Structure 1
Amino acid sequence: MRAVIAVVCLAIMIVVILLAPSSKATDDGPATITVKIVFGADEQAAVWDGRLEVSGGEILDVSAAMLEVADQLNADTRSWKIKTGVSQGKRVSFAEPQREIFVKLQCTPETLLRITTEQGDFEVAPSTLTAGRPASLLDGRAEVHRLGNEKIVAKTETDDDFTAIALDANGQRHVAWIAFDTTAQTDRLWIQNIDKPGEKPELITDAVEVADLQLLNIDGTLNAFWSSSGTDKNWDLYTAVREERGWRSQRLTTATGTDFQLSVAAGTDGSVWMAWQSFRNGKGDIYAKVRNGETWSNDFVVEDNPANQWQPSITVDTEGRAWVGFDSYENGNYDVYLTSLTASGDKVSVGERIAIAQSADFEAHANVLATRDGRVWVTYDAAGPNWGKDFRNGPTIENGRYAEPLHASRRMELRCVHNGQLEQPTEPLPQILPPEKIALIDRDPTSKPSRYYDLPQLATDGDGRLWLLFRICRQGFCRHPPLGAQWNIYATTYTEQGWLEPIQLPHSQGRQNQHVATAAGTAGPLQCAWAEGNRFASVNRKYAVRAGALPPITEAAAGIPCEPLQLDPPGTAEPAPQIDWTITRGGDEFRVYFGDLHRHTNISRCMPTLDGCLTDAHRYALDAVEHDFLAVTDHTRDVDAFSWWRTQKASDRFHIPGRYVPIYAYERSNMTHGGGHRNVFFLTRGAQVSRSDHWYAGRKLKRPDNNPTDTLYPWLRERGDALTAAHTPEYDRKANLGTWTYNDPQVEPVAEIFQGLRESYERPNSRVKEEASLQYALHQGYKLGFIASSDHLSTHMSYACVWAKEKTREALFDAIRARRTYAATDRIGLDVRIGEALMGEETQVAGETVTLSIHAEGTAPITDIEIIRDGQVLDTLRPGTPLVETTFKDPAPLPGKSYYYVRLLQDNGAIAWASPIWVSR
């Protein structure tokens, strides 16, 4: 049977060879071609053990993708042991059953690649493959794809990321990138001509921190653009022009507040337009400026309304008008808009804003491109409605309302504006769509959706084709993937036969929030540059910059057929409950601030496809939940030096003084018996990553003693600017050890009483052992204030509430250290005192009674206020109103020492816990 299949396949390939256009190798000698062999295209379970060999050519490299842990590839013998299908175990890498082998080879039209497998054998002539139209073999069970080529730009010891590319007047490629030097703890901005033999990287700037890199060839001169914290720690925009003596830099903005998320485009008249997002007025606004000749205009506002506007993209049409696409949160969710800019002398006029997408869905990350036919294209990624709203863990419907966590789904959208009319393609984009509303976030291997389409970008190649490039992740909701949480870059274009099957850029695996840089000459394929790195490799996580081209397309280009699109009116924003509440005690004044001290991103390997990226986390905090502060706490098991650098950098870039305070933090995951995991918070930037035994175990290294008493606490005390908080407490009865075996009141003043991902740890229950509860810790004599945190996945249901003197890192740390905190599952106001003592404090009480003063501002009617002394409910008040101001007198207080706290319940299920007040009598 296998022989029959092989003969049939060979006959098919001979016909393809006769009908296919001639390869470039016919005229210029051997060509370098990369192909991707896909096993299990029929999505069935099967054994595909096999090998490959070539005749009439030379194999340069063999690699694999989407292999499970049990699969093996031997690149030296060009053989493999592979099974397709989705494992029913929990620890699988991919939610899709296919497995892939990549082969880079030099070939001529006579070259044949022979593949032998347990499911059948087949032969392929690589030069006859058509990019975007994969060859189907073995009755559709296997496929072979023609890909573009790539190479590493520079071999370095640094983490190289955030690329840009431009072609010079001779068509040579110049690739720029940002390199992070672990030893020096600094960024460096490099550029290299990759088409000039022997050329070495050249330094553009010696700024300590760089982001938002762009590179343009303007009138034959290379121009670089970026944002940097500069010497005054204020993020501003910079440019540099390449001259004979090197790069001449210029600072373009100086206003106080972060200027970032930069986009730059050049007009055919030599003008240069730039748009960016600025936090200079306490919120996100879109600004722009234009350069004509050598003179830049002043900064001017493109979009300014009370909401945050985000991440602009700019393009220039054939008439010299600039178009800026961006997204806004003004309607209580992210919507996409487009605005035109026209320059006349030193004046710029801003056109009327055009709505591109304004549904209840998440619609963000716009990318725009004006084409020669007068259309302005806008692409963006989208997700379901109520992004970042009330979601706990599992079902997406809470109290009848649907909500998605930060990265439960992503799809691409493409629209255009033509003659003032909004249009959309009549033929759907080549993507696998998620359900309109995901019923359950189930982390089973077969859970859907299995694909995420992130950050689509538009570009035109030298032949005028419009390309759509994007990132795909196929890991799904699987648990703790050792390999699968990676995004790869794909591209598609429209031809006379419709959309091409997306073409993968080889060796493009990386994070969700990485872009691909593109450049085009006067003819030929699109040139690309990108960074790749295996995020979850066990040891080596280094990022490297690669460059390459998309493969030649043989099908004739065609205009994308479109149809008019009429948008529904925008939704109405649902404002968050505002608690603007000040209390006084003596000469001190305190205000309540709401935040989260435990939020993960896709840096952590627990739920990397569901938690979203660093930008998603800060967007969520600023808009969806309106936090005053946020600590991104990714696991130290997964936080390498580059990830920690990016996390700290993001905390500075998103800091809005007086509005929003990111806190430098990570989660120190610990495998020590009962040691538990602890989030660590730093007042100042630059702390090292405190490695726990979890990090050593993941690398199969000898595990050190890592109990907090011996390691974490002394280090934090020595620093003097750091605090920690335990979460998800546990207890091992056999070892007689638990989370509350350890505590240092100097550096561990608070603990998570509630976690949105899981449950309340206040009291023992069927899942929480008594020794793991917060009440047990209090019985041990520990003085711990209460906070609530999200951890992974959960959104909008956990608040660390802090009474602080002002909204600064210093004041927040002082308040947390003093335990002036409470925990809540909604934005509830709560002030509990005993005499002059505030929540979290100690007091001496004389007399026959202890009196609690309680002031609460609920988001719904408060049904119960439980008064708790030493773990026992003394009484329950039932006010039935959102606003409560009352007192409670304990008529028979205990002698000696006791602690009191209040548990508040609302009729909508929300809860708040006041931190204890410790009383001595």
Structure 2
Amino acid sequence: MARYAGLAALLLVWASATAEPGTTVVRTIRLVLAGFPEPPGRENPGAAEPQATDTERAGHLAVSAGRILRLHGWGLAPGDTLAPDWAWRWQPGAVARTLLGTLAAPADAALQVTAGTASGSVSLAALDAGAPLPVPNVAATADLLPTPQRVSGAGDADFPALVAGPGGDLWCAWVSFDGRGDTIHLAQYTAGRWESRGTIPSARGRVSRVALAAPDTDRLVAVWGQEDHGTWDLYSAVFTEGRWRKRVRVTRTPGSDLNHQVIADANGRVWLAWQAFEGSFAHIRLAWWEQGKWAPSILVSEARANQWAPALTAGPDGQLYIAWDSCEAGNYDIYLRSMRDGRLSDIRRITDGPEYEANVSLACEPGGRLWIAYDRGEADWGALEHAAALHRERQVAIRCLEGEALTAPPLPELEAGAAAPFAENGRLFADARGQVWLLLRRTLRNSTWDLVAHRFDGHRWSRPLLLPDSAGRSDMAATLAATADGSSWVAWASDAAEGGSIHHAVFAAPLPAGTPAPERLSFAAVPAPTAVGTTWQARERPVGRFGREGFTLYQGDLHRHTELAACHPFTHGSVQDAYRYALDAAQLDFIALMAPLHGGDAYRWHLQQKLASLFSVDGTLVALSGAECLTPSGAPGAVFLERPERAVTPAAAATAWSELVVGRGTDGDLAVLYARDATALPAEPGQGPHLVAPLEGPADCAGAPSSAAPDARASTAAPTPDTWWLTRTARAAVVAGTGHRAVSTRTHLWAGYLTRESILTALHRRRAYIGPPTLTLHFSAQDRPLGSVVYPAGKPLNLRVQVSGAAGMRLELLRDGQPVERVDVADSGEAELTYTHTGPSPDGCAYAVRLVTESGEQCWTTPIWVAAERAPRR
């Protein structure tokens, strides 16, 4: 909280050239100073440094009138320091440094910069004109940025919504986490400051996000997602006369309702669009609020494929526009539909390229021109060879719809020198004068995304305008609104990750007004994509029987990272990217997202758990959440806990892991071991980890030991692999996951109807094998499934293996890790192997199946353990 202490009392005023010379105005100045390369002859870091060079790297900031309220570094180098007297000292390095200073000073004051022995000044009145200016005599430039004010209070704040509402004031709502659960807070901007207006009393527990609309000058309508007895539905409440009215339940479907958006049109009708999981797919639905109640919803999308992330806007003529993205054509494209006088138009396809095109935003100019912004990524997004890197490319793309013509406006120029070439999660807003704002998440420095704003004046885009205090995840979108006087405002959430300790807060700031261009630019027409049928096809799940009991074969990924892990944040993608991949590109039945080995804050762990619940839909997808840890032996491990709040730190996760290994835990708890040696192998059967991923581990993550695996793929073993997990005492299911690298191997489970409980049960009962997506394997002993412990009591035991989808592989049955039977798989990919175990086995043994390709890639099953005598029931 201390890092924002100087910001909380700032008066939010965008400085302009018309300010009176003696009027004190709060401004945020960006100062970019040139770097200092190593001096010639100082290749030895231990050598003495010339005093002059040390002096040149020191400097300080001052203002001729008024005072400095805050100075902080933005993307400084390790070892750079700032002092309380607004001074700094840099480490050697040619990279430019950026400082952000907040000043309370009159327009006739001057910003004074000293760097080494040089000094210079630039007038604040000149900076108020908006363009960056060089600082005379100093290798530096200065420009003006929006001045943010913190809106949220205590607790981690996320998912803000901003609207101009009752009284003509701005209103901001957000989801706050207090360490136990979520609440929705409301604040009003009045008399130059943000004032708390309390919370929505009935919105508690787990809340997905909140959206606001103002149908008139007397009321606010809030819509949010909330979990109730494992089901996520949408709820709404009206704020009027200073208090919230009774909560109303908007949706009542068994699947999750999410990614909702609301707007109010000029007639005071509130529109709500959302993504609804119904049956086997997610669809887009639309509902409206009028005369104090919600009308029944209507279905907007039509294809039998998942539809994602709707956007809404209303035109000046009362026409409503709804856009979304879908993989129905085999890759993500943007689709659009409109409604006038209660009638929906035909679905219009906006994009048809092979690239990833998703996360759409809409805005409509006063003249009726519709703007459509969306993310554009690589072709074949989520393909197996790129499965671990879901965020390799991401840029903004824009289209406009003018009448029936689709046009391509120019794109804003993006700043050079960014840490990674990403510009995404664009949010559009059109003001009353016809100017269009585009807010983007940019990777301008290492390990975080910042918000930048671009203004289109009708002819060209403005320079990128950095929003201070906006560091955050790629999926932290901005929200925009206009006040009664036409001023444009933006609110956003930040996780302050660049400051070391992570704390999530909501900020807001006014944007500079600008001047519309006298001539409006005409955009070039682009060919309209043609409508196509649904080409995406759902994968069929094999079924089988073990004895009298029927099962379905599911496949999934039990170790996937997202940007919530600090390691490789620009590579993994967002949490929603991971669930898109699971549902559409990979068609997984279950997926486990892992909290990082080096720890993280409680809110990120809570968010990961909450989103796992949100995207878990019975019959469609089971989403698990795990926490990585180091086991007592030093090997990497992880835990899945029924009560996830226990594992918010690496120490807590490690303690939980040890407790599970000794006591095996409850039915909802699982311990995973990532290791290629037997350091954690128990001496007695029935103890030890529930799951073993022996050929992969969470390498390359901060604090993690390097992987001993010779290859990145979980399906690849060393030429003479250590098969300790196949011994009689291990009693663990063999599993696999993506980790940080692309893999073609998945965890396959024989289970009942797809629910979280059935997947956890199948893992506890070890009905698992690892192999490529196409491999179907049935392994049994006397009709008992793989993972079983059987007691033949001296009688012969018949083992049977059936495989399909294994062309070009050799099928082997192993006893205690040594082959006892082999068969080559036919070109059809099918094979069958039978074997009879004929004791005696005084100490017991373990049978497992391995499939090997000519290139050495291997697939493994969990063993079937043959015990000498039945163990006493626990």
TM-score by length of 2: 0.86
Tell me: CA distance 1:202–1:849, structure 2 relative to 1, closer, same or farther (3 Å).
closer
Q: 2:460 corresponds to which residue?
A: 498
Q: Provide the residue aligned with 2:440 in structure 1.
A: 470
Identify the residue that residue 634 of structure 1 maps to in structure 2: 595
CA shift for structure 1 position 155: 3.1
Q: Give how far 1:585 is off.
A: 2.4
Q: Among residues 248, 252, 255, which one is paired with 1:254 in the alignment?
A: 252
Alpha-carbon separation, structure 2, partners of 1:195 and 1:810: 53
Instruction: Give the secondary-structure state (helix, strand or coil) at the position aligned to 1:357.
Output: coil
In structure 2, the CA distance between the partners of 1:718 and 1:681, relative to structure 1 (3 Å rule), is closer
Provide closer, same or farther for how the CA distance between residues 75 and 100 of structure 1 changes in structure 2, counting only shifts above 3 A: farther
Q: Distance in 2 between matches of 1:610 and 1:834?
A: 43
| 2:225 matches 1:228 | yes
Q: Which of residues 689, 694, 697 in structure 1 aligns to 2:647? A: 689
Deviations 1:730-754 (A, max 9, x none): 66xxxxx934479984572221144
Cα distance in 2 for residues equivalent to 1:22 and 1:290: 40
Q: How does 1:869-884 map to 2 (within 5 A)?
A: 869-884=815-830
Does 2:431 match 1:422? no
Q: Which residue of 2 aligns with 1:650?
A: 611
Counterpart in the other structure of 2:371: 377
Question: 1: CA distance between counterparts of 2:132 and 2:20?
Answer: 22
For structure 1, which segment, 124-133 or 826-835, has the greater mean C-alpha deviation from structure 2 after superposition?
Answer: 124-133
Aligned match for 1:455, one of 414, 421, 425: 425
Aligned to 1:389: 383
Alignment counterpart, residue 181 of structure 1, candidates 178, 183, 188:
178
Change (3 A) 1:283 1:140: farther
Counterparts of 1:477-876 in structure 2, within 5 Å, are: 484-495=446-457, 498-535=460-497, 537-538=499-500, 540-553=501-514, 556=517, 559-566=520-527, 578-635=539-596, 637-663=598-624, 665-670=625-630, 674-682=633-641, 684=642, 686-689=644-647, 691-693=649-651, 711=659, 713=661, 717=664, 719-727=666-674, 729=675, 738-740=679-681, 745=686, 748-755=689-696, 775-779=723-727, 781-794=729-742, 797-845=744-792, 852-858=799-805, 861-876=807-822
Taking a change above 3 Å as real, the CA distance of residues 338 and 497 of structure 1, as seen in their structure-2 partners, is closer
Inter-CA distance 528–75: structure 2 relative to 1 (3 Å threshold):
farther
Mapped partners of 2:35, 2:535: distance in 1: 45
Question: Which residue identity lines up with residue 141 of structure 2 in the other structure?
Answer: E
* Cα-Cα RMSD: 3.7
Q: How does 1:313-328 map to 2 (within 5 A)?
A: 313-328=311-326
Q: Secondary structure at the match of 2:491?
A: strand
1:151 and 1:781 mapped to 2: Cα distance? Answer: 60
**857 and 54 in structure 1: CA distance in 2 versus 1, 3 angstrom threshold:** same
Q: Secondary structure at the match of 1:270?
A: coil
Deviation at 1:299, TM superposition (A): 0.4
Return the offset for 1:869. Answer: 2.7
Contact 2:538 2:587 in 1 (8 A): no
Alignment of 1:358 with 2:352, yes or no, is yes
TM-aligned CA distance change 1:893 to 1:161, over 3 Å:
same
Is 2:175–2:185's contact at 8 Å kept on the other side of the alignment? yes
Q: Counterparts in 2 of 1:339-354, with a 5 A limit?
A: 339-343=337-341, 348-354=342-348
State the alpha-carbon separation in 1 of the partners of residues 682 and 522 from structure 2.
Answer: 67
1:29-44 matches, within 5 Å, as 29-40=23-34
Please list the CA deviations of residues 494-517 of structure 1 after superposition, one character each: whole Å capped at 9, or x if unmatched: 247732121011111122111212
What is the deviation of 1:577? Answer: 8.5
SS at match of 2:371: strand
Quote the Cα distance in structure 2 between the aligned partners of 1:44 and 1:313.
51
Alignment partner of 1:616: what SS?
A: helix
The structure-2 alpha-carbon separation of the partners of 1:472 and 1:590, relative to structure 1 and needing over 3 Å to count, comes to: same
Task: Please report how far the alpha carbon of residue 554 of structure 1 lies from its aligned counterpart in structure 2 after TM superposition.
Answer: 5.5
Give the superposition deviation at 1:568.
5.9
User: What corresponds to 1:92 in structure 2?
Assistant: none
Secondary structure, aligned partner of 1:615: helix
Q: Structure 1 CA distance, aligned partners of 2:360 and 2:152? A: 31
Q: Which amino acid aligns with 2:250?
A: L
**Quick one: structure 1 residues 893 and 587, their matched pair in 2 at CA, closer, same or farther if it must change by over 3 Å?**
closer
Find the aligned partners of 1:138 and 1:272 in 2 and give their Cα distance.
54
Q: Alignment identity in percent?
A: 25
Match of 2:201 in 1: 205
Cα–Cα, structure 1 residues 406 and 752, in superposed 2: closer, same or farther, change >3 Å? same
Greater alpha carbon shift after TM alignment, 124-133 vs 813-822:
124-133
In the TM superposition, what is the alpha-carbon distance from 1:820 to its structure 2 partner? 0.7
With over 3 angstroms needed to count, the CA separation of the structure-2 counterparts of 1:744 and 1:221, relative to structure 1, is farther
Residue matched to 2:866: 919
Q: Partner of 2:43 in structure 1?
A: none
Counterpart Cα distance in 2 of 1:899 and 1:831: 17
Which digits, 9 at most, give the CA deviation of each residue in 1:170-218, with x for residues without a partner? 5432222111121x43333333345476943322233223233122222
Q: Please name the residue that 2:75 is paired with.
A: 66
Mean CA deviation greater in 748-757 or 204-213: 748-757
User: Are the aligned partners of 1:599 and 1:634 in contact in 2 as well (CA < 8 Å)?
Assistant: no
Q: Per the alignment, in what secondary structure is the counterpart of residue 610 of structure 2? A: helix
2:389 to 399, 402, 405: 405
Q: Which runs of 5+ in 1 are unaligned?
A: 1-20, 86-96, 397-402, 434-445, 476-483, 696-705, 732-736
Whether contact under 8 Å (1:386, 1:404) holds in the other structure is: no
Distance 1:488-1:36 versus aligned 2 partners, 3 A rule: same
Q: May I ask how many residue pairs the two structures share in their alignment?
A: 828
In 2, distance between residues paired with 1:44 and 1:810? 60
- Flag the 1:892–1:652 CA change in 2: closer, same or farther, 3 A: closer
User: Which of 55, 61, 83 is residue 64 of structure 2 equivalent to?
Assistant: 55
Structure 2 residues without counterparts, runs of 5 or longer: 1-14, 40-52, 701-705, 869-874
CA shift, 1:305, in A, is 1.2
| Structure 1 residue 861: Cα displacement | 2.1
Partner residue in 2 for 1:81? 90
Between 602-611 and 870-879, the greater mean CA deviation after superposition: 870-879
Q: Kindly indicate whether the alpha-carbon contact (under 8 Å) linking 1:379 and 1:457 is maintained by their aligned counterparts in 2.
A: yes
* Letter of the 2:123 counterpart: A
Indicate how the Cα distance of structure 1 residues 236 and 496 shifts in structure 2: closer, same or farther if over 3 A, else same: closer
- Cα distance change on mapping 1:124 and 1:186 into 2, 3 Å: same
1:376, CA displacement in angstroms?
A: 1.0
Q: Deviations over 1:32-84 (max 9, x none)?
A: 11111123499999974322222123211111111132222224343232554
1:691-749 per-residue CA deviation (whole Å, 9 max, x = no partner) reads 33499xxxxxxxxxx577755545x745553011112x166xxxxx9344799845722
Q: Please, which moves more after superposition, 38-47 or 774-783?
A: 38-47
Task: State the distance in 1 between where 2:544 and 2:503 align.
Answer: 50
Structure 2 match to 1:191: 187
TM-superposed CA distance for 1:810, in Å, is 1.7
Structure 1 CA distance, aligned partners of 2:535 and 2:327? Answer: 11
**Amino acid of the residue matched to residue 365 of structure 1?**
N
TM-score, scaled relative to structure 1: 0.82
